[in-house]
A = this chain, B = another copy of it.
Amino acid sequence: MIDRRHFLAAAAATALAPVLPAAARAPLSGSQVPGIYRRKLGDLEITAILDGYVPLGAKSFSSTDPATVGQLVAGAGLDESLPTSVNAFVVNSKDRTYLIDSGSGAWSGMGDTMGRAEANLRAAGIEPAQIDTIILTHAHPDHHEGLLTAEKTARFPNAELVIHETEHAFWHDDGILSQAPAEAKPFFASARGALAPYAARTRKVKAGEVAPGLMLEHAPGHTPGHSILRLSSGSQQLLLVGDSIHNIVLQTAQPEIAFVFDADAKQAAASRRRVLDMAAADKLVFSGAHIPFPGFGRVSKDGNGYRFATADWSYTL
């Protein structure tokens, strides 16, 4: 039974209760935002372009002491599958637009966690036809398959292709191919296929300034002609280390930790140490093809190894 006192109490409670509107229900997005991120380097605008990720797995890395990798993975709380970014970079100098590596391409069959470089490039407002120059750090599928369309034609119709002469020669050497183990032969086919549409506009280079402010340096080991890029504009410098680093936690802690696809593990480790030393000594902005996206940071010495600190978000350009 509701008497007057109860009625008034109920009315008061109603008046005090918040007005709860019907839920508006914004739908779940279900996907991450586009993998693009910019930063300024002097007069240059750098855009990191995410192709996706590949779970390299802790077993892809090895040290002289077999327990080391597992200890570092556990100590840093890393997922044992080691999901690893695949990054490309646009460098826009106002006069020319450069692309450093091209991702794996949507058509390469490297799995649905990759192949988004072209979509992300377009999300950044850049059409493939606007790329003037592509610089390949080396000819591995996650760096060059993005050069192709589904029809195996040139995805970048107006771009010249720049590659270290040693890298180009290695993948086109029939003698080396004939002696390569069976599991390596598809890599030769992939490199030749991706580079073929660009044959008439390929510039094979040695170390040096391949474009104004873009210094290419030979950093062999991962592949024979593997190269890094040192970009300069005004007082700022950025080092793009390509595949000198495959895991920034493991290989800064111990640069001698090898990656399974390094062609010459000892030479790769020497290049890695040289690259990290250069970055720490010269206080360079640092990134690379497999640094966790968006990938920019700084390297400092830490005992016999190094430490990588991710840069804060660039609010403005």
Chain A positions within 8 Å of B, measured between CB atoms, are 18-26, 28-38, 45, 47, 50, 52-53, 76-77, 83, 85, 90, 92, 94-97, 113, 124-127, 129-132, 158-161, 200-203, 292-294, 298, 300, 309-310, 312-317
* Structural contact, B25 and A130, CB atoms closer than 8 A: yes
A19, closest chain B residue (CB): B201
Contact status B317-A83, CB under 8 Å = no
Q: A26–B201 contact, CB under 8 A?
A: no
CA distance A24 to B95 in the complex (A): 8
Complex contact A32–B316 (CB within 8 A): yes
Closest beta carbon of chain B to A178's beta carbon, Å: 27
Evaluate contact between B47 and A29: CB separation under 8 angstroms.
yes
In order of increasing CB-CB distance, the 8 nearest A-B pairs are A26-B130, A24-B130, A26-B97, A21-B158, A293-B313, A19-B201, A292-B312, A18-B201
Contact of A313 among B22, B30, B85 (CB under 8 A): B85
**In the bound complex, what is the Cα–Cα distance between A53 and B28 (angstroms)?**
27
- Copies of this chain: 2
Residue in B28, B38, B76, B294 whose beta carbon sits within 8 Å of that of A45 in the complex: B28
Residue on B nearest A94 in the bound complex, by CB? B28
Which residue of the partner chain, among B21, B29, B317, contacts A30 with CB atoms under 8 Å?
B317
A19-B200, A203-B18 are contacts. A314–B32 as well, Cβ < 8 Å?
Answer: yes
A285 and B37 alpha carbons, distance in the complex (Å): 23
A310 touches B310 (CB 8 A): yes
- Asked whether, in the complex, the Cβ of A96 is within 8 Å of the Cβ of B20, the reply is no
A95 and B31 alpha carbons, distance in the complex (Å): 18
Could you say which residues of chain B place their CB within 8 Å of the CB of A294?
A: 313
Q: When chains A and B are docked, how far (Å) is the Cα of A314 from the Cα of B83?
A: 10
8 more contacts with CB within 8 A, not counting A26-B126, A29-B317, A83-B312, are A18-B202, A26-B97, A26-B131, A28-B45, A32-B38, A32-B314, A53-B315, A292-B313
